[in-house]
C-alpha cells in the first residue's frame, strides 16, 4: 500500500456528504475538525452541528466506510466539543452549494445578536431581503423557515449558530 | 476536585433537559398551530440531545452509559426540578414554563462556559448557542400573547401565577453549593436566580402581565433531592417502555 497523506484523506472526505444535504461535503460543512495520520493509522476528530443532531452517527459511519473503502483498516473517530461547530465553519464553497441546493446559506454568526438577521434572510432564488421569518424551527434542527414576498414562495435557511 | 459535587450538578442539569425534552415532545402532533408543533418538537430534540451529551460526560466520570442512566432509574433517583415534570396542560402553561425554564438555562450555560471543569465548559459554549433559539422563541410568544387579547392575557397570567413557585424550585440549592463555587465549577444557584429574576422582569415588563412580589412566593422544592410530584413516575414508565421495547433505538 502506498503512503497516504493528510491531503488524500481530505480529498476522500470531500465525497462524504451531509445525509440531509447531499450536495454538501462534511469537510465543507466544517464538522471534520482534525485529521491525524500515524503510519496507516487514521484518527479523525468530528463535532456535531447541533448537539442533538440525529445524523451524527450516520456521518461517523459514512466517514468510516469511506476510509475503509480506501484500504484503511486502523480508524478511530472521536466526537468532541473542543472546537465547537458554528455556522461560520461552513466553507465558501459549502455556502455556494447550499444556495444551489435552494437553501439560504447562514449569515455570519456574529450578526445573530440582531434579530433582523433572522427576520429578513436573503432569498436563495432572488437574493432579495423582502422576506419574513415564519419559524426559527424548521424540518431539521439546522434549518429555519422563511417566506419571500417577491417570489411568493417559502424557503429554508441554514440557521446561523 | 470532588466528583460528587460535579456529578450532582451534571445530573440535575441533564435530568431537567431530558424530562422537559420529553414533555416538549408530547406536543408533537398536538400543537395549537403547525409552527408551534414543529417548534416544540425541535426544542425537544435539542434538549434530549443535550441531556445525552451531559450523561456522556457522567459516563466518562465512571457512571453508567447514557441510555442506562436515562431509562433505568426510578423517580427518586432523578434530580430534575418539579417544574419540568408537570404535565403540559394547556398551551399557555407549556409556554410559560418554557419561558421560565429556558431563561434560567441559557444563563446557567452562560455561567458554565467559564467552568473550571473543561469538558463542561466546552459543551456549554455549544449549548448556549442552541438555547438562544429557545429563548428567542419563548420571548417572542410571551410578548405577543402577553399583549394580545383579554383572554390570552388572562390565560397567561393564570399560568404565570401557577408556574412561578415551581420555577423558583429550579434554584433549589445542592448540598455541594459552596464547594462548586470554591472550585470554580459553577457560580451557584443564588447567583443564577438573581440574574434570572432580572431577565424575567425585563420581558414581563414589556407585556400586560404582572409578576407578584418575589418575597410573597413559596418556592416548590424537592425535585433536586428526588422528592417528586406524582407526575414523574408515569412519564418515566412511558419513556422506559419505549427503551425496553427497542433498547437500540436512536434518540
Ligand atoms: Zn425571492
* Domain definitions of chain B by residue range: 3-245
* Local confidence band at B241 (pLDDT 50, 70, 90 cut-offs): confident
Measuring CA to CA, which residue among B132, B130, B122, B175 is closest to residue B9? B175
Pinpoint the alpha helices (H) of B113-170.
118-145, 150-168
Kindly provide the ipTM of the predicted complex, given to two decimals.
0.88
Interchain pair A52, B49: CB under 8 A: yes
B125 touches chain A (CB under 8 A): yes
Asked whether the beta carbons of A134 and A149 are under 8 A apart, the reply is no
**Which residues between 100 and 129 in chain A have a beta carbon less than 8 angstroms from any beta carbon of chain B?**
112, 115, 118
Residues of A in contact with B43 (CB under 8 A): 137
**What angle is formed at CA A115 by the lines to CA B202 and CA B95, rounded to 5 degrees?**
55
pLDDT tens sequence across B77-92: 999 999 999 999 999 9
Asked whether the predicted pLDDT for residue B243 surpasses 80, the reply is no
Span B103-129, average pLDDT = 97
What's the confidence (pLDDT) of residue B251? Answer: 46
What's the confidence (pLDDT) of residue B28? Answer: 85
Looking at the DSSP bridge assignments, the partners of residue A158 are A143
Interchain pair B39, A161: CB under 8 A: no
Asked whether the predicted pLDDT for residue B59 surpasses 50, the reply is yes
Asked whether the predicted pLDDT for residue B180 surpasses 50, the reply is yes
Query: Cα dist. B177→B172, B184, B190 in Å?
Result: 10, 11, 9
pLDDT tens sequence across A85-119: 999 999 999 999 999 999 999 988 776 665 667 88
Asked whether the predicted pLDDT for residue B128 surpasses 90, the reply is yes
pTM for the full predicted model:
0.93
**Domains annotated on chain A, with CATH:** 6-79 (3.30.300.130), 92-158 (no CATH)
CATH topology of domain B3-245: Ferritin (1.20.1260)
Asked whether the predicted pLDDT for residue B209 surpasses 80, the reply is yes
Span B34-39, average pLDDT = 89
Amino acid at each position: 500500500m502506498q503512503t497516504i497523506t493528510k491531503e488524500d484523506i481530505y480529498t476522500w472526505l470531500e465525497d462524504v456528504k451531509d445525509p440531509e444535504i447531499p450536495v454538501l461535503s462534511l469537510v465543507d460543512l466544517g464538522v471534520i475538525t482534525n485529521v491525524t495520520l500515524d503510519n496507516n493509522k487514521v484518527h479523525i476528530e468530528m463535532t456535531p452541528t447541533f448537539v442533538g443532531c440525529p445524523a451524527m452517527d450516520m456521518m461517523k459511519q459514512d466517514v468510516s466506510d469511506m476510509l475503509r473503502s480506501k484500504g484503511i483498516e486502523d480508524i478511530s473517530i472521536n466526537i468532541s466539543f473542543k472546537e465547537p461547530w458554528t455556522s461560520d465553519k461552513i466553507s465558501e464553497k459549502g455556502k455556494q452549494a447550499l444556495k444551489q441546493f435552494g437553501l439560504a446559506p447562514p449569515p455570519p454568526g456574529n450578526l445573530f445578536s440582531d434579530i433582523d438577521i433572522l427576520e429578513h434572510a436573503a432569498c436563495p432564488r432572488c437574493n432579495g431581503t423582502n422576506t419574513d421569518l415564519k419559524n426559527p424551527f424548521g424540518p431539521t434542527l439546522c434549518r429555519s423557515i422563511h417566506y419571500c414576498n417577491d417570489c411568493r414562495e417559502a424557503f429554508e435557511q441554514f440557521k446561523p449558530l | 476536585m470532588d466528583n460528587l459535587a460535579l456529578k450532582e450538578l451534571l445530573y440535575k442539569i441533564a435530568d431537567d433537559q431530558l424530562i422537559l425534552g420529553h414533555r416538549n415532545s408530547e406536543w408533537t402532533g398536538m400543537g395549537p398551530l403547525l409552527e408551534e408543533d414543529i417548534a416544540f418538537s425541535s426544542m425537544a430534540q435539542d434538549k434530549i440531545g443535550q441531556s445525552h451529551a451531559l450523561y456522556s460526560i457522567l459516563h466518562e466520570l465512571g457512571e453508567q452509559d447514557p441510555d442506562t442512566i436515562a431509562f433505568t432509574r426510578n423517580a427518586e433517583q432523578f434530580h430534575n426540578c418539579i417544574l419540568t415534570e408537570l404535565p403540559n396542560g394547556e398551551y399557555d402553561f407549556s409556554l410559560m414554563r418554557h419561558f421560565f425554564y429556558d431563561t434560567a438555562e441559557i444563563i446557567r450555560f452562560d455561567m458554565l462556559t467559564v467552568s473550571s471543569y473543561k469538558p463542561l465548559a466546552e459543551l456549554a459554549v455549544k449549548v448556549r448557542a442552541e438555547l438562544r433559539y429557545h429563548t428567542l422563541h419563548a420571548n417572542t410568544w410571551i410578548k405577543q400573547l402577553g399583549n394580545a387579547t383579554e383572554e390570552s392575557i388572562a390565560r397567561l397570567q393564570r399560568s404565570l401565577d401557577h408556574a412561578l413557585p415551581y420555577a423558583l424550585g429550579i434554584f433549589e440549592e445542592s448540598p455541594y453549593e459552596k464547594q462548586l463555587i470554591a472550585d470554580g465549577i459553577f457560580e451557584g444557584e443564588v447567583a443564577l436566580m438573581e440574574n434570572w429574576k432580572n431577565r424575567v422582569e425585563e420581558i414581563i415588563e414589556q407585556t400586560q402581565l404582572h409578576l407578584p412580589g418575589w418575597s410573597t412566593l413559596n418556592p416548590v422544592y424537592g425535585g433536586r433531592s428526588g422528592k417528586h410530584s406524582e407526575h414523574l413516575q408515569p412519564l418515566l414508565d412511558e419513556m422506559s417502555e419505549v427503551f425496553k421495547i427497542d433498547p437500540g433505538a436512536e434518540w
